[in-house]
Amino acid sequence: MQDAIITLTRAYRFTAAHFYRDPAASDAENEQLFGKCANPHGHGHNYRVEVTLRGTPDRRTGMLLDLRRLDGIVGAQVLEPLDHKNLNLQVPFFTTHQPTCENLARWVWDALATALPPGLLDAVRVHEADDLAAECRGPAR
């Protein structure tokens, strides 16, 4: 039997607050750029993160990675730093980057890419709402 390439996706949830603001812009400009999201007091989301692994399962276990190990890595690298946090104020990356769904997907990718076995991470998808998600498939080239 020939080795097959398999993808495996595991979902996680966390809650966080954020706001969008350009500190160089006036309140009116921020409102024009970001609408309701420019509220300096922020607002919250119940995020869903999907982590997709890709590779050939281990012959002995039949797994790409033991889910307990994956859960531990995601817990330490993603959930712990983000859950019940104000992203703008408590996550250093977002002091210089807008905490958009796109940038959050990039942040999660970077947090996991070095913690997982090389080449195993295929994609990260972050759902900010039922109708909004961003996906990252690696660093910008």
Catalytic residue IDs = 37, 84, 128
Transcribe 10-46 into DSSP letters: EEEEEEEEE----TTS-HHHHHHHHGGGG-TT-EEEE
How far is it, in rounded angstroms, from Cα 49 to Cα 14? Answer: 8
How far is it, in rounded angstroms, from Cα 37 to Cα 100? Answer: 10
Which residue is associated with the tokens 């002091």? Answer: 95
Q: What angle do CA 128, 68, 72 make, to 5 degrees?
A: 60
Query: In DSSP terms, which residues pair with 13 in a beta bridge?
Result: 48
